[in-house]
Amino acid sequence: MRVLLVRMDGIGDALAMLPLALALREQGHELGAVLSARNRDLFAATLFARTHILIPDAARRHGSTRESFERARAEIAGAYDAALILSEEPDAYRLPALAAVRVRVGFWHALEKPFKSLWQRWRSTRVVYRPAAWVDQPHEVEQLYALGVAAGLVSGAPPHDLARTRAALRVDHVTRGDVAAVQATRKLIPSGRDVAWMGRALRALPGVRLLVHQSERDLGEALARVCGHPLDPFGATPAWLRAIATARALIAPDSGAAHVAGSVGTPVVDIFPREHGERLIRQWHPWNAPYQPVFQPDESEPADVYGERLAAALRTVCCI
């Protein structure tokens, strides 16, 4: 069958659909994907036969530009037998319905969000229940995989196939190095703390390098001045993927970087917020890699103590 995967969200969200995509390919289905500008460069060109890009509309909190939506709608019409709606964005439901894809399988929240659920049900030919509240949920990979099972396109459990996942992300021919990396991003700095505080915490980490996107280079340089670790700036997504794949381990907030590491097998010190932390760990822990969760510091924790917690987690995850 010709199957459309709709996941026009962030990087971590897109990576959560990768085990499903690999299982669909293994079953002989031809894949297309609706992606966003944020996640379009993650995947090898051979994974999807076609990709359709939705551009966020800056004037709205949710929604795509009319031009990108209509272009994708024209591309999709008549091109697919089934669509798996892996995103909860409204346009993810509207697009395959308006393009008249015959089988459309998506999520709904039953009575927890009755109006949204009715709208989701209206746009889908089949729905799978997904809790809407802050309650324990299965891993995100398992929830997305359930849509493929409901559609009768795959069976069993989602695969833990590191070799095929690395190939799908174009990092199958790299060698892991001896130096750990820290994803230097604004999300790394705990709420209520500044760059200097986080820099002092990073001093406790032995021999690491700071990965920073060119758009946040000022932040990376400020952290490097305080902690003394070398800076490794990157621009294009493929360079970032290779930097994470070749690191001995990665220290990162729960974000796209942690999920890249979790996809390519790089051990992860995964930093979660304290609020809903245990639930988030169960739903969003790295799928294909050893990991050690760490909670963000409380209001009274000194920088050096937090740094020692990160260092201890790094030693643990490198020995798992």
Q: Is 32 in contact with 4 (CB distance < 8 Å)?
A: yes
CA distance 162 to 18: 11
Helices (H), 169-233: 195-202, 217-227
**Domains of the chain by start residue, with CATH:** 2-159 (3.40.50.2000), 180-319 (3.40.50.2000)
pLDDT at 286 (0 to 100): 95
pLDDT at 9 (0 to 100): 86
Residue 17 CA neighbour count, 13 Å, CB half: 29
Degrees to nearest 5, angle at CA 144 with 143 and 150: 90
Confidence of residue 73 (pLDDT cuts 50, 70, 90): very high
Query: Mean of the pLDDT values across residues 265-286?
Result: 93
Instruction: Read off the pLDDT of residues 146-178 as tens digits, 9 standing for 90 and up.
Output: 999 999 999 999 999 999 999 999 998 889 999
Q: Is 169 in contact with 193 (CB distance < 8 Å)?
A: no
CA distance 157 to 126: 20
Ramachandran assignment for 152, one of left (phi > 0), alpha (psi -120 to 50 degrees), beta (any other): left
Q: Is the pLDDT of residue 58 over 90?
A: no
In degrees and rounded to multiples of 5, residue 289 shows phi and psi of: -145, 155
- Which one-letter DSSP state was computed for residue 111? G
Confidence of residue 71 (pLDDT cuts 50, 70, 90): very high
Instruction: Read off the pLDDT of residues 6-55 as tens digits, 9 standing for 90 and up.
Output: 998 889 999 999 999 999 999 999 999 999 988 889 999 999 999 999 99
pTM score: 0.94
* Residue in 178, 162, 172 with CA at minimum distance from that of residue 263: 162
Instruction: Read off the pLDDT of residues 106-145 as tens digits, 9 standing for 90 and up.
Output: 999 888 888 988 999 999 999 999 988 777 889 999 999 9
CA distance 20 to 31: 11
Q: Is the pLDDT of residue 61 over 80?
A: no
pLDDT at 38 (0 to 100): 85
pLDDT at 112 (0 to 100): 84
- Which one-letter DSSP state was computed for residue 128? E
Q: Is the pLDDT of residue 4 over 80?
A: yes
pLDDT at 304 (0 to 100): 96
Token output for 82: 């089934």
DSSP string, 147-186: HHHHTTS--SS----HHHHHHHTT-TT----S-EEEE--G
Q: Is the pLDDT of residue 63 over 90?
A: no
CA distance 40 to 36: 6
Instruction: Read off the pLDDT of residues 202-259 as tens digits, 9 standing for 90 and up.
Output: 999 999 999 999 999 999 999 999 999 999 999 889 999 999 999 999 999 999 999 9
